[in-house]
Amino acid sequence: MKIVIIKWVDSTGVTSGWEFTEDIKPLKPAICTSVGFLIDDAEDYKTIVQTDGEDQILGRLTIPVCAIKEIKEVKQ
């Protein structure tokens, strides 16, 4: 399986309680970096896993292509 590094954009938010409107500061989207084994290279999403066992996987993450800024293959 290919190992990839994916840089992608995610939503951010504040859910810790009430905020005074005069204290509100802009929230920018989060830039995330994820590394894993590429198990699904679909046209509209990519799925990676953290760990590949003999007959099991662990830590599956699916990222929509519209959120991906960059994807690089790690050469083994």
What is the block-wise mean pLDDT of the chain (76 residues), using blocks of 10 residues? Answer: 97 92 95 98 98 95 98 94
Alpha helices for 1-76 (secondary structure H): none
35 φ/ψ angles, rounded to the nearest 5 degrees: -125, 135
pTM summary value: 0.87
Question: Which pLDDT belongs to residue 15?
Answer: 85
So what's the pLDDT on residue 27?
Answer: 94
Q: How close are the terminal C-alpha atoms of the chain, in Å?
A: 10
Range of the domain at 26: 3-74
Total number of domains constituting the chain: 1
CB distance 65 to 45 below 8 Å: yes
- Report pLDDT for 61: 98
Contact present, 71 and 34 (Cβ < 8 Å): no
What integer pLDDT is reported at residue 76 of this predicted model?
80
